[in-house]
Structure 1
């Protein structure tokens, strides 16, 4: 199954093509304000690199948060537009779950994914080595996050660049676990079945944002 995967919940915007869970090609950028402008060019580059046609795509996977409200809306709208234009299913996956799934199982039995939530908070969620969620995604005070999480999950491995900024130990660092990435989305999107109803973004806290209409499909001729 050929998948297109998208992640825009943080300042990094990333796109990946995968055959099942195996990533074939991936691209990213680090200009959060440019997610809307960069996604289509990144996708075009990937399709050319992989030698795939747009019509060969069979499923779209997208990170659903938590994360940047604007970033999530951009990525989800882009994913929906492609899925609607090509008449293929799409699946939403948790952005923190994608970080955790990108961490090798042998790294530790429990891993806690952290992501900067701004407002002096961090988003956090704990997972088992197999990727099963051990807690709900939540927003915690940045200054107290490690203490609170360490008490609840003793010996847990911390993921995310914010974990390194806070001096978390033990910690695991890689490009796909420092920030949510489309490569982690690909593993989960290959496993999940499309929902019967449209998945809702995982905002965790009130965004105060006004919902916007979907843009035209990027693949409409």
Structure 2
């Protein structure tokens, strides 16, 4: 199976191509804006490096959030368009899963993935060392973080790590900081997607994934309406 994955949801842009479990091309760059203009050129570059075209793809994967409203729309729209035009299955992966996946944790450690959501809040999710979800993806105020954590030593990853480290240091909870990227990487997204295809048939991923919004978008339409409101 040849799978293309990409991410535009947070503070980076990345794309990767896997053939089975083997990565054959990938690109990653930190980027806080301009995802819409840069995504397809990056995808085309990655495919060229892999000596492949869109017609060679068997599946796609993309991040569904949490992330910025604009970034999520860019990635999901592109992934849905490619999947529809080529009749390909499309796997949705959360950004929290993506940053937790590369972390090497001991059997008794909990991987705590988090993003700084501003406004004294974080997006967060806890995972066992084997990747099993210990909590759902959450939007949590800093004052409530400690009460939402499972017990055990923690491994911190993501842009919310400095906030988490301050809270945990003050509480005396044992933790360490992962040496992996704090932003989603398409290579991890692709690995997660490949594992999901090993668990379910491709038909399970023919319906396009929905975005994961843990906070209502800040943007307003003319007249003050929320973009999520019905016309």
Number of the residue aligned with 2:172: none
Quickly say closer, same or farther: Cα 1:83–1:198, change in 2 above 3 A: closer
TM-score where L is the length of structure 2: 0.81
Per-residue CA distance 1:151-201 (angstroms, 9 max, x = gap):
x333121111320465363111212xx111111111111122443543211
| Superimposed CA distance per residue, residues 38-79 of structure 1 (whole angstroms, 9 cap, x where no aligned partner) | 111101111111111221011000111111121111111111
Say if 1:111 and 1:156, in contact at 8 Å, map to a contact too: yes
Q: Counterparts of 1:195 and 1:13 in 2: how far apart (Å)?
A: 23
Q: 1:17 Cα shift?
A: 0.8
Unaligned runs of 5+ in 2: 167-174, 219-225
Q: Deviations over 1:123-151 (max 9, x none)?
A: 00011112111101111224653x3455x
Alignment of 1:174 onto 2:180: yes
- Identify the residue that residue 188 of structure 2 maps to in structure 1: 184
Cα distance in 2 for residues equivalent to 1:185 and 1:122: 21
Q: Does 1:84 align with 2:84?
A: yes
**What TM-score, normalized by structure 1, do the two folds share?**
0.84
Q: Which moved more, 1:14-23 or 1:200-209?
A: 200-209
Which has the higher mean CA deviation after the structures are superposed, 199-208 or 60-69?
199-208
RMSD, aligned CA: 2.1
Provide structure 1 residue ranges, at least 5 long, that are not aligned to the other structure.
212-221
Bigger-Rg structure (1/2): 2
Match of residue 163 from structure 1? 161
Identify the residue that residue 67 of structure 1 maps to in structure 2: 67
Report if aligned partners of 2:64, 2:211 keep a CA contact under 8 Å in 1: yes
Give, in angstroms, the shift of residue 99 of structure 1.
1.4
Higher RCO, 1 or 2 (CA under 8 Å, sep at least 6)?
Answer: 1
Question: Would the aligned equivalents of 1:61 and 1:93 in 2 still touch at CA under 8 Å?
Answer: yes
> Of the candidates 190, 206, 210, which is equivalent to residue 200 of structure 1?
210
Give the aligned length.
207
Partner of 1:9: 9
Partner SS, residue 205 of structure 2: coil
Aligned-partner SS, 1:99:
helix
Match of 2:227 in 1: 210
More off after superposition, 75-84 vs 98-107: 98-107
The alpha-carbon distance between structure 1 residues 43 and 198, as it changes in their structure 2 partners (threshold 3 A), is closer
Q: Distance in 2 between matches of 1:139 and 1:75?
A: 21
Do the aligned partners of 2:138 and 2:214 also contact (CA within 8 Å) in 1? yes
1:100 to partner: Cα distance: 1.3
Q: CA deviation at 1:108?
A: 5.5
